[in-house]
Structure 1
Amino acid sequence: MTINYSQPCGADGNWQAPQHFVFPSPVLADWLQYPGSLTARLREHCQQFSIKVLYEGFSEIAPHEQLALACAGPYWVREVLLCCDGVNWVFARSIIPQSSLEGDAAAVSQLADKPLGELLFTGQGQRQSIELCQIAAASSIYQYADSSQPLWGRRSRFLLANAPLLVAEIFLPDCAAYRGDPGVAAS
């Protein structure tokens, strides 16, 4: 598997409100619509949680992302893999307008291998909206999946210290979202 560190993948698909979907399973629906921190939920499902940074820097974004973010660029883009016990479970893409990289929200550009979720689910973070999507089959996100099964994701617009940002989380095939009980794995 070749990982492209010089170009972001994007998160293309037909993003829509949750009520427009019929989900293939109640477990997947639960994961996609989960209101809390995905980072915290993933940590409950594994012994060791880790992050692999794939891309971080200023980049162009897709028109559907500009529309969802509703804020002018340039844009700081961060793409990571969220891993449980060394296995890729989630591809995450964060988009932050340069104007949001100032003041109290500036820490989002200095996360390194720390999860964004820890910043968003503090007293300063607020989810404004959520959209869901089945990722386009031609998406380069599939390079991180060990199969060609359909991938599902969610995208949220947040305010962090009153600064807007967009976060897409795509569940990869090994994620618990595609199997069994949505609850916490036994330790």
Structure 2
Amino acid sequence: MELHPPDYSDWIAAPSPSFSRQQKYWLFRPGALTAGLRRIGPVQLRVVREHAAGLLPAEAWMLNRPVRSPVWVREIIMSINGVNSVFARSFTPLQASHSLWQGMRRLRTRPLADMLYHNPQITRSGFLACRLRDQHPLYRSARNMLGHQCPAANSMLARCSVFWRNGQPLLVAECFLPDFWPLAAKSAYDQGLSLKQI
């Protein structure tokens, strides 16, 4: 099932002309993001928060569920070579977190990719991307995670997609922190990509 952002949403289904070639690549790169990050350097994953919450109005359309429906939320930060590079916010209906997506509760410091890419029953939507704004739920999560070290909203680019398993959705939103881009640009992996037309 594909994602169709409502008119009021910041999410877009095609790369913005304002994105650089490097940004387009990472925002719409298929497969597990963690695998790509590991090509740049050692990745460390830190779980910041896991909790139950009500589905926010700005995010309810992503799961095709009513506003304030109970969801299970997982928020993490991934660092490369000790540099905070990506933060992610994932959520699924609370009931699904006890059944089809219960593995999400047992990951600890392992990435979601460990449970998403080895099951033929799981399908993934296309990607959406956006530049964050102060009011964006993802930016509010970033502020909670990073505190006074949180960069300005408009300096952060994010992507999201939804995984589906037997009709139950799991949304994964990943945001690239400003320090990620120069770190990636220094790697031979990223430099090879920049030569390709995205």
- The 5-angstrom pairing of residues 15-94 of structure 1 reads 15-19=11-15, 21-46=16-41, 48-72=42-66, 73-94=69-90
Distance 1:183 1:33, change over 3 A: farther
Alignment match, 2:131: 134
How far apart are the structure 2 equivalents of 1:22 and 1:182? 24
Q: Distance in 2 between matches of 1:182 and 1:23?
A: 23
Determine the C-alpha separation between the residues in 1 that align with 2:81 and 2:184. Answer: 17
- Distance in 2 separating the partners of 1:182 and 1:30: 14
More relative contact order, 1 or 2 (CA 8 Å, 6+ apart)? 1
Q: Do the aligned partners of residues 134 and 178 (structure 1) sit closer, same or farther apart at CA in structure 2, a change above 3 Å counting?
A: farther
Equivalent residues of 2:44, 2:78 under 8 A apart: yes
Aligned to 1:121: 117
Does the Cα contact within 8 Å between 1:31 and 1:182 map onto a contact in 2? no
Task: Give, as a single letter, the amino acid of the residue that structure 2 aligns with 1:84.
Answer: I
Q: TM-score, normalised by structure 2?
A: 0.75
Q: AA paired with 2:80?
A: C
Q: Aligned-pair distance for 1:24? A: 3.0
Task: Indicate the residue corresponding to 2:171 in structure 1.
Answer: 166
Which of residues 101, 106, 118 in structure 2 aligns to 1:105? 101
Which residue of structure 2 lines up, in the alignment, with residue 176 of structure 1? 181
Once the 2 structures are TM-superposed, how far is the Cα of residue 43 of structure 1 from its aligned partner? Answer: 1.1
Distance 1:178 1:60 in 2: 36
What is aligned with 1:151?
156
Contact 1:28 1:178 survives alignment (8 Å): no
CA displacement at 1:116 relative to structure 2: 0.7
Measured after TM superposition, the shift of residue 101 of structure 1 is 1.9
Q: CA RMSD in A?
A: 2.6
The structure-2 alpha-carbon separation of the partners of 1:133 and 1:185, relative to structure 1 and needing over 3 Å to count, comes to closer
The 1:179/1:37 distance shift into structure 2, 3 A limit, reads closer
1:44-78 deviation line (CA, Å, top 9, x unaligned): 110x2111111101012321211111135310001
Question: Relative to 1, partners in 2 of residues 1:102 and 1:179: Cα closer, same or farther, differing over 3 Å?
Answer: closer
Distance in 1 (CA, whole Å) between partners of 2:183 and 2:10 is 20
Moved more, 23-32 or 170-179: 170-179
Change in 2 beyond 3 A, CA 1:126/1:25? same
What is the CA–CA distance in structure 2 between the aligned matches of 1:25 and 1:166, rounded to whole Å?
A: 25
- Structure 1, gaps ≥5 residues long: 1-12
1:135-187 deviations in Å (ceiling 9; x for gaps)? 1146342563564361100011111465311111000011138863786269x
Relative to the length of structure 1, the TM-score reads 0.79
Equivalenced residues, count: 172
* Alignment correspondent of 1:10: none
